Amino acid sequence: MLQIVIPAYNEERRLPRTLRELRRHVAAHRGVLGRVEVLVVDNASTDRTAEVARAADSTALPVRVVRCVRRGKGAAVRAGLLATDADLVCFMDADGATGLDAIEEAWRRMLLGSDVVIGSRAVAGSLTEARHCRTRSAGAAAYRRLAGRLVPGVADTQCGFKFFRGDVARRAARRLRTAGFSFDVELLVLLRAAGAVVEEIPVTWTDVPGSTFVPARHGAGAFAELARIAWRCRGLAPEPGRVAGGTRSPMPLPAPAALPAGSV
């Protein structure tokens, strides 16, 4: 089974379409993906996020709402990952910005031996829509430089699509402390330190209006979190031979009924 965690904060407008598209996508790829379940994590929404999530629940795509007392995207993803029990887990944003084809590609890479496959808007083959204002773009470039020092070799730490072996994700999530938007960086540091093979795959990324990230409100906090991660994780180094792009023997996953074209 694949469990998909969706952190959602005041997403009553963007979530229904994302869940609808996900249901269609899963139905179209049922033979590859097998059983899929969605866990929507709502921790502080003041709108009808939980209701719209429950309304999307169906036999074709079961949707559960997970409550999380701590606020922030990082706290929500952590709670979601810890609520999973599947062999394969993933998280994605409620805005549906990442093209869903990434799911099958990530699945294929997992079968080839990756522990963690992350969507990237910065590797060859990705298609992204540029749209941020100059200030945010400059901030993002500075952020990428700092984040790159903590997870060398990873070009895009912040894409809201990450796919994991379930046990690997749960082990790292237990140690995750960052509650805000920089949690991806800490998660990747922890995963690397535990010896996980992390692979970046190109994604199609479309801007969806209604972002919950407000640079003026969250920007400084995201940088402060990076500094705290650097301090907390200063002793952690990747295990030799288990860095991004590395390979090892494929993991023992239950064989899917069929694989995407071009797979092993």
Ligand X SMILES: Nc1nc2c(ncn2[C@@H]2O[C@H](COP(=O)(O)OP(=O)(O)OP(=O)(O)O)[C@@H](O)[C@H]2O)c(=O)[nH]1
Site residues (vs Mg ion, CB under 5 A): 93, 95, 97
Binding of residue 98 to ligand X (CB under 6 A): no
Interface residue with ligand X among 99, 160, 219, 238 (CB under 6 A) is 160
How far is CA 236 from each of CA 35, 88, 118, 186, rounded to the nearest angstrom? 36, 25, 21, 11
Query: Within the chain, where are the H helices?
Result: 15-28, 30-33, 49-55, 73-82, 101-111, 134-150, 166-175, 183-193, 215-232
- The binding track of 178-197 with respect to ligand X, each residue x by CB under 6 A or -, is ---x----------------
Interface residue with ligand X among 19, 33, 43, 196 (CB under 6 A) is 43
Closest CA to 121 of 13, 29, 206: 206
Binding of residue 156 to ligand X (CB under 6 A): no
Candidate segments 30-38, 65-73, 168-176, 194-202, binder of ligand X by CB under 6 A: 65-73
Binding of residue 76 to ligand X (CB under 6 A): yes
Pick what 186 binds: Mg ion, ligand X, none; C-beta below 5 to 8 Å, kind-dependent. none
Q: How far apart are CA 52 and CA 1, in angstroms?
A: 24
Pick what 8 binds: Mg ion, ligand X, none; C-beta below 5 to 8 Å, kind-dependent. ligand X
Q: How far apart are CA 144 and CA 264, in angstroms?
A: 34
Minimum CB distance to ligand X, residue 141 (Å):
14
Q: 13 in helix, strand or coil?
A: coil
Q: 64 in helix, strand or coil?
A: strand
Minimum CB distance to Mg ion, residue 63 (Å):
20
Candidate segments 35-43, 186-194, 234-242, 247-255, binder of ligand X by CB under 6 A: 35-43
Q: How far apart are CA 18 and CA 206, in angstroms?
A: 13
By CB atoms closer than 10 A (0-12, 13-18, 19+), residue 167 is middle
How far is CA 197 from each of CA 23, 189, 221, rounded to the nearest angstrom? 29, 12, 29
Q: Compare residues 7 and 238 and give the one whose CB is closer to Mg ion.
A: 7
Candidate segments 71-79, 144-152, 193-201, 245-253, binder of ligand X by CB under 6 A: 71-79
Minimum CB distance to ligand X, residue 132 (Å):
8
Binding of residue 93 to ligand X (CB under 6 A): yes
Binding of residue 211 to ligand X (CB under 6 A): yes
Interface residue with ligand X among 42, 105, 186, 199 (CB under 6 A) is 42
Helices 183-193 and 134-150 sit at what angle, rounded to 10 degrees?
20
Binding of residue 36 to ligand X (CB under 6 A): no
Which residues of this protein are in contact with ligand X, per CB under 6 A? Answer: 7-9, 11, 41-44, 71-73, 76, 93-95, 97, 160, 181, 211-213
